[in-house]
Structure 1
Amino acid sequence: MNHLIILPILLPLLVGGFFLLRPKLSSTATRVVSLAATWALVPLAALLLMRADSGQIDVYALGGWAPPFGIVLMLDRLSALMLVVAAVLASFAVLYATRGDDRRGPDFHALFQFQLLGINGAFLTGDLFNLFVFFEILLIASYSLLLHGGGADRVRAGTHYVVLNLVGSSFFLIGIGTLYGLLGTLNMADLATKVASADPERAPLLAAAGFLLLVVFGLKGAILPLYFWLPRAYAASSAPVAALFAIMTKVGLYAIIRLFFLVFGSEAGPLANLVLPWLWPIAAVTLAIAVIGALAARDLRITLGYLVVVSVGTLLAGVALGTAEGLSAALFYLIHSTWVAGGLFLLADLVARQRGKVGCELACGPKLRNPMLLGGLFFVGAVSIAGLPPFSGFLGKVMLLQATPVGYQALVIWPVVLVGGLGMVIALARAGSTLFWRMSCSPLETADLDRVRLVATAGLLLGSPLLVVFAAPVHAYVQATARQLLDLAPYFSIVGGQGI
């Protein structure tokens, strides 16, 4: 076994526990340790990505118990890609937080590390029950991070977020309990083999469990009609927390891909591709309603929250295709949308700091002290997230539209994506013109631009042009990832102990 696989889980676990056991550690030392631990995840994830790029699926059996009896971690191209996306996002978010946001409440860095523990664990686990465990870890940490610093808006948004996710966790337990009762296992590879050979009379119950898990992951991924908690929750949280939360919806989408392409994939007999026909209308309506929400928003952070939901609808459309081309387009768009959305949440905070009490409200406010610099970054982020050339959002949407076959699917997805893109352009153009052109008075004296915050913001937003520069190798990797996800034979061999 390669012990490198477990390090993305062990590192945040040990560092988060260290912060709780050493409460008298100075704030400077805490920040240095947190930055070092989080940034260390970037080269670690890159090493795992290079290992996964060989095409081999690595399995890490804790305690030496071979699947399906023990707890296993599984590294393939998809999990390695998600680790890289999360590590880069978290590194810039924690860098931004060290400039004062971490002092708004206690134990910020411990909670941040535990959030990473849950996220990385969800991407690496090969077992449905442990997916539930890591979901709960990241959710408990996110509850506290959302409320970090207090305030009526955060408590109100946090209450909705907590209640909905507690209901989702209950459904998650019911779903996996049903699968375990019917099949006697929760190892995903073992579930895939047993669903494929299940008795026909069990098919309705298995399908019910699958749809129940779709509801759970849809709540985590913020798909219609389960997204209403997201815009207010993201807008109420602090900037680095909102940036980190840009990966949260992707965890839900990752779980949908993992479960419904492996367990209920093409080899699942009568339950093959169980939810794909349902994902099409869900994706289209999610995208359309989210664009309407962005057009109606009167606060930049709420607008960005709806744009996160727009990206969810776009990603779900690629997944719904069920082809290697559709999946590769979705994965490319996932990288782009996660980094750019995170950068825009950080940028919104930089703008708000120069507008005083007006903050991110889309109304006339004080003149910005750095309108050209902040406006330039906003332009890059807005053009990219709206899917216009020459940035990565355009490439992702072109890949998605090219992957859509002629027929009913094209009639649904082309108008929704193109008209939705127009709506995003209008919403962002209105926000930009209000923030950078409608200014009524002189700049605030206390609105100096923090350079470290600026570096963290620019670091994420520049991910979009970098994806264009390195589009060929990134595209090749996501294509190989999609083909691997559709080839289930190597996953079935995990149950026999191969890859350990």
Structure 2
Amino acid sequence: MIGELLNSFFGQHLPVLPVLLPMFTAVALLLIGDGGGQSSHGGTQLRARRWVSMTSVIFGAVLAWRLLTEAASGPLTVYPLGAWPAPFGIVLVIDRLSALMLALTWTIAAPVLWYSTGGWDSHGRHFHALFHFQLMGLSGAFITGDLFNLFVFFEVLLIASYVLMVHGQGRDRFRAGLHYVVLNLAASALFLIGLAIIYAVTGTLNMADLALRITQLEPEQASLLKAGAMVLLVVFGLKAAIAPLYMWLPTTYAAASAPVAALFAIMTKVGVYSIIRVHAVMLGEGAGHAAFAAAPWLLPIALLTTVLGVFGALAAHSLAQLVSYLTVSSIGIILAAVGLFTPESMSAALYYTVHSTLVMAALFLLVELVAAQRGAAGDHLQPAPPVAQPVALGLMTLLGAASAAGLPPLPGFLGKLMVLESAAATPAHTWVWAVVLGAGFLTLVGLARAGAILFWNVLPGRPDDCSAGSSGRLMTATLSLLALSLLLAVAASPLKRYTDATAAQLADRNGYADAVLNAVGGSAAQTTRPYRGGEGEVKLPGKAVAP
């Protein structure tokens, strides 16, 4: 009986749990307390925080993958909070795209949190609570069906990231953190201005309602709407770190602690996700006079971002900076595919998003493992005594570098191949091919240079503490992310089918609007309705819903 009740509860309220779970976990962690941030690893409070935090993240990952499994069957799931129907109430929407990003977030969170329990969580106060508030903001941003609530969840994840950025303290972190906070506060103000313009024109901020109202705008109204949308493009571009708004990222990510930088690898994808939702879906094909508002700008900016990112990687003086600039370059490749505005390129962009996020998160953890075994040289690209584990760290670096550069048969190669194939039939194919292939070659050159300095051009002797960073926990967490990236190559076919279906589903603006705006329920219950581009039946707990 209890099992049936629990199953019914989780079945009905599953969509909201990825937001509620980290929120309640963070509150519980605050109630447990923090003994000043310098507690002994064997302390009762620290063990309790780690146990609660890891258990919650594992459970959250299970929930996210269950949502992904349900989304893969086709239906779009709508969760009207408080049973208030859209567009008047707040709705959470789970389609293939949001489910994919949700699963990616929690899959990365588990090994990153495990890595942090190797010692980083005791370098400052309330690390675990902030980690879960960050997950709450990320999850909410991916599943909200309302632009204003996207802004709210942006603020939640940003506030948590402000403190996580300076976790462990240090002059470089505080300096980078100050710039990071100021830029994001300015972006938040622009976000509100953009939302105000869109609301003034359409009278709604619900994404489904907007998708319908945009098609009915007169040319003058559409022009004003496009102005608001371009303001949002600036905001999302800053979050995603595209040119010329990317300069904050290399300094910030390089200064952050390893687990924080690894978690931040998914944070830039919130900007990418928002660009897809607003400019590729709502303002995509079928949007009337406002269609493709960002088309003249998005592809050139994305290609420029890729070039500047890889040039920054070549000029980097530390391994952390190099990986940070490669993150910028990968964002450019993703948005270049998005900027082609075809279903094939959208599918390629999503595949490459999954690959680049996993690989960059793994590389940020690997940076610290290498730096910890090089003594005073750290991650600076200069000769130093050899690391304690040259074979293990060398192979891990080779694997991550080869995938980031796009060498076959690794997933980076497959993702770039999909992008190139999707661009072949477009007028911009020459530029896309030249930039993607050129960036891949220069990435390989930069990583080969770094590898030669770190593992080949070494000085005699050993650093004072050459065993640092050789913890089994740290190695396991890093290896798990690299293994997941390899799995993308093994499971390339089913993942490609999923991203193809996701791209088709995103193109069905009327199906999305119908599913959200017709979702009803006597209580805050899950609603699934047919969504062209997918398969599945209509189900509403306790009621039959007509298509």
The SS at the match of 1:60 is: strand
> Is the CA contact 1:57–1:490 (under 8 Å) kept in the aligned structure 2?
no
1:7 equivalent to 2:26? Answer no
In the aligned structure 1, how far is the partner of 2:254 from the partner of 2:297? 30
Amino acid at match of 2:15: I
Choose which of 387, 396, 401 in structure 2 pairs with 1:382.
401
Identical columns (%): 50
Partner of 1:371: 390
Aligned length: 500
- 1:198 offset after TM fit, Å? 1.6
1:68 equivalent to 2:90? Answer no
Partner of 1:490: 511
> Is the CA contact 2:29–2:52 (under 8 Å) kept in the aligned structure 1?
no
In the aligned structure 2, how far is the partner of 1:417 from the partner of 1:281? 13
In the aligned structure 1, how far is the partner of 2:433 from the partner of 2:282? 30
Partner of 2:314: 295
> Is the CA contact 2:340–2:426 (under 8 Å) kept in the aligned structure 1?
no
Partner of 2:66: 47
- 1:445 offset after TM fit, Å? 5.0
TM-score, structure 1 length as denominator? 0.98
Q: Deviation digits for residues 169-195 of structure 1, max 9, x if unmatched?
A: 000000111111222111000011111
Q: Deviation digits for residues 91-145 of structure 1, max 9, x if unmatched?
A: 1110000010011110000000000000000000000000000000000000100
Q: How does 1:315-326 map to 2 (within 5 A)?
A: 315-326=334-345
The SS at the match of 1:148 is: coil
Partner of 2:164: 145
Distance 1:342 1:230, change over 3 A: same
> Is the CA contact 1:354–1:443 (under 8 Å) kept in the aligned structure 2?
no
Q: Deviation digits for residues 290-343 of structure 1, max 9, x if unmatched?
A: 111000001000000000001100000110111111011110100100001000
1:465 equivalent to 2:475? Answer no
Which consecutive residues of structure 1, in runs of 5 or more, have no partner in the other structure? Answer: none
Query: Which deviates further from its counterpart, 468-477 or 490-499?
Result: 490-499
- 1:200 offset after TM fit, Å? 2.5
- 1:202 offset after TM fit, Å? 1.1
Partner of 2:243: 224
Q: Which has the larger radius of gyration?
A: 2
Partner of 1:18: 28
Q: Deviation digits for residues 354-394 of structure 1, max 9, x if unmatched?
A: 01111000001121110010000000000000111121000
Amino acid at match of 2:506: L
Amino acid at match of 2:386: K
Partner of 2:365: 346
- 1:441 offset after TM fit, Å? 2.8
> Is the CA contact 1:189–1:262 (under 8 Å) kept in the aligned structure 2?
no
RMSD over aligned CA atoms reads 1.2
1:247 equivalent to 2:247? Answer no
Query: Which deviates further from its counterpart, 480-489 or 375-384?
Result: 480-489
Amino acid at match of 1:497: A
Q: Deviation digits for residues 231-261 of structure 1, max 9, x if unmatched?
A: 0100000000000000011110000001123
Larger fraction in helix: 1
> Is the CA contact 1:161–1:229 (under 8 Å) kept in the aligned structure 2?
yes
> Is the CA contact 2:375–2:465 (under 8 Å) kept in the aligned structure 1?
no
Which consecutive residues of structure 2, in runs of 5 or more, have no partner in the other structure? Answer: 1-10, 35-43, 521-526, 529-547
- 1:408 offset after TM fit, Å? 3.2
Q: More relative contact order in 1 or in 2 (CA 8 Å, sep 6+)? A: 2
Query: Which deviates further from its counterpart, 325-334 or 444-453?
Result: 444-453
In the aligned structure 2, how far is the partner of 1:469 from the partner of 1:268? 38
1:284 equivalent to 2:303? Answer yes
Amino acid at match of 1:5: P
> Is the CA contact 2:64–2:99 (under 8 Å) kept in the aligned structure 1?
yes
1:111 equivalent to 2:119? Answer no
The SS at the match of 1:73 is: strand
- 1:428 offset after TM fit, Å? 0.2
